[in-house]
Chains A and B, each alone.
Chain A
Amino acid sequence: MFTTKASGYFALATILLVLGLLLQDWQLVALVLPVASLFFLSNVWGLPERVKVRLSHQVIPSDSFGDEDIRVRIEISNETNGNLSNVEVHELVPDTIKIEKGAARIRAQLKLLEKLEVQLGFPSPIRGHYPVGPVVVRARDPFELYLVEAKAESEVLSIMPRPERIRGAELRPRHLGPWPGIIPARTLGSGTEFYSMRGYVAGDDLKRINWKASARHRRLITNETEAERVTDVMIVLDTDVTFYESAEAELFERGVRAAASLASLLLRQGNRVGMILQGEERGIAAPAFGKRHERNILYLLAAAKPGRAVIPTDYAVALLAKLLLPARAQIVIITSLMDNTIVAGIRGLVTAGYSVLVLSPSPGVPVRFESESEELAYRMLMLERANTLFSLEKICSVSQWPVGIPLSVVLSKVRRLRPMIRV
């Protein structure tokens, strides 16, 4: 195609012609000759008529936990029947990415059938999804009067939160799946915990014979164990932390890390795990098993951003839980509890028979307050949060996660809520 510059030169030539005619001046008309010759030579010599360029780009790795450098490899091969003297390669990268190796815009010459491989590198950005590309290759003649463009679509670089290795919490949902897992099922079956004893039956494993009991009863007695099964868990990450602007980012990132770590742990244990992001931007990963699903959940978490929820959290969670989870399954809600409207929603879930665990990252105390009223506001906010916690502790398991304490320690202290006996 011809460029805007070519149109400009054409306009200049036309003006010269008209002026020459009006003023009856052949010298002005003669100035059209170089312009016309320039067009002719650029068209014929500058750029081959058919330009064929094969183009590809690849982000390596395309998803990462943010602890390695990222490279973008661009390959261009000239499949034109001639040299390309003026090739511009432009990789569009987001402004937040600072290229440390190479450059996003490259100019080069490509000889006949030459293959050019260029790379650019940058340190891993913070958690999120980043579109890299599209990469555009423009082949032009030396005067840039003619242009041929090729484009390769953009790829997405995902920086996911790294799940921490944590120990499990004591989850005791009433719904259990048929497959073996680690959650005691309150029925006989293969497991590790003692459940009861019975008389030996031919075919029983000799290792399970309780020799002391056998001696006492003068017949062989076998130990029975409690079955351990998997369950369905829905992790809800409440991304609405906007009540606490001063430490919003830190509080939010802890929530994301906790969600990633819990999802990873529960999936490793063989459970069916789903994820709900609830806030300004919402996202859902329906419950599923396996490593691939862990990747899906981490991919979803990579896109999580803090923001004020448009739909009330209690409403969204109750609706999605009923749609995606079997009755009496486990729900883990990760929330900073800055908004007390969530209590009603959790009460509704508990009433519906779901086992609910609330993990609440505690906000840190600001280093200093800008004014006395800000300090007062902070104290009131914390008081309200304490009230919310108190209300929740009556209806479900609640675990506070203070700053600086490992998540494993917090989760190991989670105990099932004992139902109150009313007399």
Chain B
Amino acid sequence: MLVRLNYLVLAPWVIIGIPSLVSSGLHVPTMLIVSAVGLLGMLGKEEIFARGASVSLAGLIIGGKVVGDVLGSAAPDTAVLLVQFVAVIFFMEASRVVLSFDGESRELAGKYDELSMGLMRKLVEWTQGQLVGQARIMLVVLGLSLVLLLVGGFTSISINQLGFSAGLVLVVVGVLLFLVTNRREPEQRRSK
């Protein structure tokens, strides 16, 4: 239920924190629209709406930060920003699991034979396992990010040194690429 209604909490929390210029001064309508689209996706079992609402929230977080930088307004707390971002990603992925559960269980609806009941039990186990697994990973992700942030805080690097910064970006992208591709190959295009 928490996953189904996550937009009612996430949307106000994220949108209130962003500069009003991002939403053209329409905080409340933006909040209502994102919440409504998200709820429509979750309750109407339309993955595209739910995903759209989550991506909008992530976009608003990043957009808010960019506009805040351009306008020179006060920066939000980094930890809060991180928690918001992690929460948006977590609920976006959790919504996908819940909607997959809905889709599969709709296929099994009205079937009371032993085979279907067995599959239903497996589906419930899978959903619970997925949500718990995602939550566990996300908690570690959050903890690791905060620790890395603290470690990064101790090392004072002057960002004005453009060459160093560019090199740093390249290193980080390289590390990211390594993390993505280490032990894995790209997904092959499936023939229809």
Contact = CB atoms under 8 A, between A and B. Distances in A.
Interface in B21-62: 58, 61-62
Given A34-B85, A43-B182, A103-B104, A28 B176 contact: no
Nearest to A18: B169
Contact of B186 (A2, A12, A105, A143): A2
B16 interface: no
Interface stretch (A116-124, A156-164, A412-420): A116-124
A100 B138 CA distance: 39
B176 A39 contact: yes
A49 B183 contact: yes
Nearest to B110: A100
9 contacts: A4-B187, A25-B75, A27-B81, A28-B62, A31-B85, A36-B172, A39-B180, A43-B182, A106-B104
A104 B165 CA distance: 52
10 residue pairs, one from A and one from B, having the closest CB atoms = A33-B145, A39-B179, A142-B133, A37-B141, A23-B69, A102-B115, A1-B185, A103-B107, A108-B122, A37-B144
A219 interface: no
A278 to B, nearest CB: 33
Contacts of B172: 17, 29, 32, 36
Given A18-B169, A30-B152, A102 B116 contact: yes
A3 B96 CA distance: 15
A234 interface: no
A1 B187 contact: yes
Contacts of A45: 137
Contact of B145 (A24, A34, A144): A34
A147 interface: yes
Contacts of A25: 65, 69, 75
Contacts of B104: 103, 105-107
Contacts of A85: 129-130, 133
B134 to A, nearest CB: 5
B184 A38 contact: no
B145 to A, nearest CB: 4
B77 to A, nearest CB: 9
Nearest to B120: A103
B68 to A, nearest CB: 9
A212 to B, nearest CB: 71
B169 to A, nearest CB: 5
Interface string A89-112: 000000000011111111111000
A141 B100 CA distance: 15
B181 interface: yes
A119 B115 contact: yes
Nearest to A86: B130
B82 A86 contact: no
A2 B186 CA distance: 5
Contacts of A31: 61-62, 65, 81-82, 85
Interface string A39-60: 1111101100100000000000
A14 B176 contact: yes
B159 interface: yes
B3 interface: no
Nearest to A16: B62
A119 B66 CA distance: 53
Contact of B82 (A24, A34, A41): A34
Interface of B: 58, 61-62, 65-66, 69-70, 75-76, 78, 81-82, 85-86, 89, 93, 96, 100, 104, 107-108, 111, 113, 115-116, 118-119, 122-123, 125-126, 129-130, 133-134, 137-138, 140-142, 144-145, 148-149, 152, 159-160, 165-166, 169, 172-173, 175-177, 179-188
A13 interface: yes
A36 B81 contact: no
Residue from A7, A29, A101, A143 having most chain B Cβ neighbours under 10 A: A143
Contact of A142 (B76, B137, B144): B137
A146 interface: yes
A15 B108 CA distance: 42
Contact of A23 (B61, B66, B96): B66
B173 A17 contact: yes
A43 B183 contact: yes
B152 A13 contact: no
Contacts of B108: 102-103
A41 B126 contact: no
A103 B116 contact: yes
Contact of A32 (B78, B144, B176): B176
A43 B182 CA distance: 8
A139 to B, nearest CB: 12
Given A10-B176, A28-B65, A108 B137 contact: no
Given A14-B176, A23-B66, A143-B134, A34 B86 contact: yes
Residue from A30, A45, A144 having most chain B Cβ neighbours under 10 A: A30
Contacts of A30: 78, 81-82, 145, 149, 152
Contacts of A10: 176-177, 180
A63 B162 CA distance: 72
A118 B117 CA distance: 11
Contacts of B119: 102-103, 106, 118
Contacts of A195: none
A77 B100 CA distance: 23
A86 B133 CA distance: 10
Contacts of A41: 137, 140-141, 144
Contact of B179 (A18, A29, A36): A36
Contacts of B166: 21
Contacts of B188: 1
A17 B173 CA distance: 8
